[in-house]
Amino acid sequence: MPKSSSDTSDSSHESDSPRKRVVSGPDDAMDLDDLSPAMVAVTCEHVQGLEHSTDMLPKYQKTLKWHSSFNSLRGPRLKRQKMQPPVCSSCKIPLRRPAVCLQCRFIGCWTREHVQSHMRESGHTLAVDLITGSIYCAACNAFEPAPLSLESKALPTFANKEEDSRKHKRLTYKSWQPNVIEKTALSSANTIPCEVRRGFLNLGATCYMSVILQAFLHNPLLRNFFLSDKHNSKLCGKLYCMCCELDQMFADVFNPSSTQNVDSGAGLSVGPLSLLRTTWQNSNDMAGYAQHDAHEFFITVLNQLHSGSADATHGSSCTCVVHQIFAGQLQSDVKCGKCGHINPTIDPMLDISLELKGVPNGKMPTLASCLRRFTEKETLPANAYVCSNCNSSTSEATKQLSIRKLPPVLCIQLKRFEHKSSAAKIDTPVKFPGIINMSPYTTAAIGMQVREGKVPKLDPATTYDYELFAVVNHEGQLNTGHYTNFARSQNEWYRFDDEKVTHTTLRECLQSIPYMCFYVKRNLDYGAASNAVPASMGPPPSAPSVANGPPVAAPAPVQPTSMKDISIVSKSTDADDSDTDSQTSEQ
């Protein structure tokens, strides 16, 4: 079939050429739209025999009906169904004007002459232009209009859906009101919870692992990452991959068919044997059936998650799941006591460790007061700092820490274990809030307070609000203790003691003695740097970013050469603990 000048375009999609035409020879073409009914009489004997064919006629009608799902000739355009357009069987280009062989299932394009090539190679004769319904005869090398009797059978196929669409009216919404029988059935029915709460089997002094895994399960950002198939364990070929282990754990726990107890909403316990084996294979320090520190296990798993992520890097802009969720930045400002020069240093962090040593007896410290002591100025020892500006070493140099970039999920550890000449545990209770505002501890707030000498007001305040979702507790002595934890699930609180799960309240959680607290940012910013933070509560998993105030929102997470360098950030405290929390929420 000859091509018009527009057919020579080599675009990525099928162009709207060729036009509808009758071809009597290689160089003779006329537009079908310009012809009268008398002029378009069928002259091809192959097309004339189509209307009497018991095999070809049904194929012709089914082909036009199938294409009506994508396009139509008459009336207003329907709302397109969510279907991919047909593609050429040869070049795989999406077709705006497809042609279908009536003797097989071949779909091809006109512009690249794949239809003609197919018919020459296969010996097939007839193909249909799905836009016009006209028929191409390869034997005559001509387009022919469909016979009138055939067209009368095919036309309703195009118009049926549009006619039904015009007749169909949107139903008026009516709320369901149960009748007497339905009310009786509902009152006696068992309530099936939407989410299964499952504990973890103790595999031999593995309570430290159970509490961290529960914190991971109830982390909304980490949960959304794995449940949205960001890492598929069935497609990953790595051996002893921690990402695969967590992917399988989330799939097992959130599988509604995982032997759920209908009455209590609790499922059978999970035995994380494979995850434990993977931890041992990747970390010699954690290998063996011995009691380990929960915080140490937390950092170990984060390291292994980072190593197993496909997009992990060792640069300053790592976008692996660990840095998207847990990574923040600390700023350390060292001020020379002689010339006043300030030397700032920015370090990455995955969590914050707060000292409890030095708290006055008889006073209950608060999490807010511990954070204030963490960000207070401290005097450096003599000759510990040499100023880069005046090259002097003075005993009056001061150092002050502040949080330059807040992470989406904030993990705070209270350092209760001492390992000096003899191991000891600090059992001092710490009052912690259900909601905490982190703005007073940011670099922007502390810098403003230093410059202006007053408490700064940062807007909006809700940008810095964090909400508690998990707490890890340690009971007993250092070497003979036991880990338990609290976690929030769908605004309900539960206490997890290995495989035992009990319903509780936020008030009971806040009255416990915390070892680790997990907070999630209440408001996430889906702004310009959209690749910094994963989606969490509402939007589909894409990649939101977190803004921490005008001066500190821009910096991206920083990844050091070794993640072990950023596992613990702490500071000694000797200040008074009389302050109260900035904000507390209880049930």
Higher pLDDT, 244 or 188: 244
Residue 460 has pLDDT above 50, yes or no: yes
Tokens of 541: 């998993």
Q: Which of 62-76, 414-428, 443-457 has the lowest mean pLDDT?
A: 62-76
Scanning 37-170, the segments in alpha helix (DSSP H) are 45-48, 56-67, 114-122, 148-167
What average pLDDT does this structure show over 42-71? 71
Residue 583 has pLDDT above 90, yes or no: no
Note the pLDDT of residue 191. 57
> What single DSSP character describes residue 386?
B
Average pLDDT over every residue of 1-30: 40
The torsion defined by the Cα of 113, 118, 119 and 124, in degrees rounded to 10, comes to -150
Q: What pLDDT does residue 66 have?
A: 74
Instruction: Categorise residue 508: left if φ over 0, alpha if ψ from -120 to 50, beta otherwise.
Output: alpha
Q: Give the whole-number percent of the chain exceeding pLDDT 90.
A: 27
Considering the chain, what is the average pLDDT of its residues? 74
Q: Which amino acid is at 280?
A: W
Q: Tell me the pLDDT tens digit for each residue of 412-446.
A: 999 988 766 667 888 889 999 999 999 999 988 88
With 70 as the cut, is the pLDDT of residue 193 above it? no
Q: What's residue 75's pLDDT?
A: 42
Q: What H or E segment, with its residue span, contains residue 417?
A: strand 417-419
DSSP string for residues in 121-146:
HH---EEEETTT--EEETTTTEEEPP
Closest by Cα among 404, 437, 443 to 523: 437
Q: List, in sequence order, every beta strand (DSSP E) within 312-397.
A: 328-335, 342-349, 352-355, 378-379
Residue 474 annotated in active site: no
Mean pLDDT computed over 89-108: 84
Q: Which amino acid is at 496?
A: F
Residue 235 has pLDDT above 80, yes or no: yes
Of the candidates 46, 124, 341, 482, the residue annotated as catalytic is 482
Q: Nearest to residue 469, comparing CAs of 536, 407, 521?
A: 521
Q: Which of 247-256, 512-521, 564-573 has the highest mean pLDDT?
A: 512-521
pLDDT reading at 401 higher than 80: yes
Overall average pLDDT of the 224-228 stretch: 90
In this structure, of 124-128, 222-226, 265-269, 303-307, the range with the lowest mean pLDDT score is: 265-269
Mean pLDDT of 502-511: 95
**Is 118 among the catalytic positions?**
no
Question: What is the Cα–Cα distance from 175 to 187, expressed in whole angstroms?
Answer: 19
Query: What's the whole-number mean pLDDT along residues 101-116?
Result: 84
Provide the pLDDT confidence category of residue 270 given band limits of 50, 70 and 90. Answer: confident
| pLDDT tens track for 310-365 | 777 776 678 889 999 999 999 999 988 888 888 899 999 999 999 887 666 667 88
Domain extent listing, the chain: 5-167, 207-297, 319-328+345-378+405-566
Among the options 44, 101, 207, 241, which is catalytic?
A: 207
Give the mean pLDDT of 438-464. Answer: 72
Residue 130: its pLDDT value, please? 79
Domains 5-167 and 319-328+345-378+405-566 share a fold: no
pLDDT above 70 as % of the chain: 66
- Between 244 and 425, whose confidence is greater? 244
Q: Bridge-partner residues for 52, per DSSP?
A: none
pTM: 0.58
When mean pLDDT is compared over 14-18, 174-178, 531-535, the highest value belongs to 174-178
Q: Which is more confidently placed, 161 or 135?
A: 135
Listed residue (271, 393, 286, 410) closest to 353, CA to CA = 410
> What pLDDT is recorded for position 525?
66
Supply the pLDDT for residue 218: 95
Span 557-573, average pLDDT: 38
> Above 60 in pLDDT, residue 163?
no
CATH class of 5-167: alpha beta
Task: Tell me what pLDDT residue 32 has.
Answer: 39
The lowest-confidence range among 224-233, 255-264, 295-304, 518-527 is 255-264
**So what's the pLDDT on residue 569?**
42
Average pLDDT rounded to a whole number, residues 534-554 = 34
Q: What are 101's strand-pairing partners?
A: 127
In CATH, 319-328+345-378+405-566 is 3.40.50.1970: no
Residue 288 has pLDDT above 70, yes or no: yes
- Rg of the chain taking only CA atoms, in angstroms: 35
pLDDT for residue 13 is more than 80:
no
What's the pLDDT at 549? 35
Q: Pairing mode, if any, of strands 352-355 and 328-335?
A: unpaired
